[in-house]
Amino acid sequence: MAEVLVYVDHVDGAVRKPTLELLTLARRIGEPVAVALGSGAAATAATLAEHGAVKVLTHEAAEYADYLVVPKVDALQAAHAAVSPAAVLVSSSTEGKEIAARLALRLGSGIITDAVDLEAGDEGPVATQSVFAAAYTTKSRVSKGTPVITVKPNSAAVEPAAAAGTVEELSVSFSAQATGTKVTGRTPRESTGRPELTEAAIVVSGGRGVNGAENFAVIEALADQLGAAVGASRAAVDAGWYPHTSQVGQTGKSVSPQLYIASGISGAIQHRAGMQTSKTIVAVNKDAEAPIFDLVDYGVVGDLFDVVPQLTEEIKTRKG
């Protein structure tokens, strides 16, 4: 069976959930071979093996942390040369997409970004994308070179599937460009204790209807009961009520959680572009004619300051 390279996103050996989702998809099209780089790479092997990696190629070097993406592209190219895979899968983070694009260019391959599903096809893997502000769903496959495909977080379930996970040291020689852009400083973001917006299984968002920065506490309280990330519409962000990094939409982040709860958000096309592929959508809006109600699975017409705290309380009660 053909091998499929999966680029591993990890923090000091702790594998991030989108990589485990990639392993689920990789198994549909071949045998997953994981590529883990940098500090803690070898420590990823057990988790990757539990989720179907037949092989784990590792390489630890300071360059991966000290320089921007090129060393990682060099390593992935070396893995590609060693394995001749049927496809290369990378998670659709900002960094993941840059790595994937550079790799595809080097390989002379076609690339598909932001896939939301992946299946085996007679002439190579077929990727599903949600395009034009999610107005269309397309299926496509790469027709030149090794398909390089980036997949949005939450596009597949994490499914344990024990495999050998044989660890092999990858031989990498860095290119002249690898050390071209050095990381000169790092400031950790203040942690909210909530999951990362683009990876969260549940997102609770607030819009102009929240009517003030201090009122976002209502949204945060619901998010915390659900273990969710907090998102915001551009109107709320532009008003300075919530950080820009939390903006969902065409010019913000694109999310695809299992559950998206929008409160005080009208559902403008630019907002929908960033959340329409969510599995279940719930909206709370006091205007029954708000366009958000056209795409919801469950809608509540009401004042969010009445509805959301009740919902939060009910969840708290049921959790006991």
Binding site for FAD, by residue number, is: 208, 233-234, 247-251, 264-271, 285
Residues 5 and 35: beta-carbon distance below 8 Å? yes
Q: Binders of ligand FAD among 214-233, rule CB under 6 A?
A: 233
CA pair distance 228, 231, nearest whole angstrom: 10
**What's the closest the beta carbon of residue 8 comes to ligand FAD, in angstroms?**
30
In the DSSP assignment, the letter for residue 248 is B
Looking at the Cβ atoms of 159 and 297, the one nearer to ligand FAD is: 297
Which residue in 38, 165, 264, 299 binds ligand FAD (CB under 6 A)?
A: 264
Which runs of consecutive H residues, i.e. helices, occur in 61-130? 63-66, 70-83, 94-107
Q: In what order do the strands lie in the sheet with 166-169?
A: 136-140, 126-131, 111-119, 148-151, 87-91, 3-7, 31-37, 55-59, 166-169
152 in contact with ligand FAD (CB under 6 A): no
Nearer to ligand FAD, 96 or 264 (CB): 264
Mark residues 57-76: x for contact with ligand FAD by CB under 6 A, - for none. --------------------
Single residue of 290, 296, 311, 312 touching ligand FAD by CB under 6 A = 290
Site string for ligand FAD, 158-197 (x = CB under 6 A): ----------------------------------------
Residue 116's nearest CA partner among 64, 59, 155 is 155
Kindly state the tokens that stand for 142.
């790469």
Contact flag: residue 265 with ligand FAD (CB under 6 A):
yes
Contact, 23 vs 34, CB < 8 A? yes
Tell me if residue 31 falls in helix, strand or coil: strand
Q: Which residue is nearest to ligand FAD (CB)?
A: 249
CB of 317 to ligand FAD, least distance (A): 23
Nearer Cβ to ligand FAD (75/210): 210
Burial of 110 (0-12, 13-18, 19+ CB in 10 A): middle
Binding residues for ligand FAD (CB under 6 A): 207-209, 233-236, 247-252, 264-266, 268, 270-271, 274, 284-287, 290, 303-305
